[in-house]
Amino acid sequence: MRQFFAKHPYFITSVIAGLLLFVFSSFDHIKLKTPQGYEVELDRLKQKEAIEKDKLDADYHGEQIKFSKLYTLKDVSLGNPTAADEKATVYLHFEETLEAKKMRLYQLERDIMKAEKAKKLIGKKVFTTVWNSDEEPNKYSENEWFNNIYEHDTQINNAAK
């Protein structure tokens, strides 16, 4: 064995270098996967948090809660009723799409507070929730309507906020 190492002095160095290269390349591979896994877990936790907050809303009565995609909020506007039986409407406008989401103002004070909350989120990544009853699970599309809006940040906030 000694003769082998005497004839090949760089053998051990090559083996160690190969092992280190393997270990570090495996580590980098794991490092690359971790942030994506973290984001998926973060998304799941943010949705769970949003569900808990929505369930505390005085207007919530056990409906199914659906989530929108993430968008950057560009503007919030208020539309006046166009018909005698129609309510005023809050519109959310996004950077990524021309379509605005809307929420009718049934409970004026609470809904105006949601609009004010939305105005504070302009320029930030957000997602919205929409509620549908079991009888009409697709009545309100998460792409067209919203009941609440949440910032999608990198922190998990307390659900009681």
Taking CA atoms, 34 is separated from 22, 30, 100, 125, 139, in Å, by 18, 6, 34, 21, 38
Q: How many domains does the chain have?
A: 1
Phi, psi for residue 21 in degrees, rounded to 5: -60, -45
> Residues 58-95: pLDDT tens digits?
788 888 888 888 999 999 998 877 666 677 888 999 99
Which pTM does this prediction carry? 0.64
Mean pLDDT by 10 residues, the chain (161 residues): 64 55 41 45 76 84 88 90 73 91 77 88 93 86 89 54 38
Percent of the chain with pLDDT over 70: 65
Cβ pair 159, 49 in contact under 8 A: yes
Q: How far apart are CA 151 and CA 125, in angstroms?
A: 6
Domain containing residue 159? 1-161
Q: Work out the end-to-end distance of the chain between its first and last CA atoms, rounded to an integer number of angstroms.
A: 69
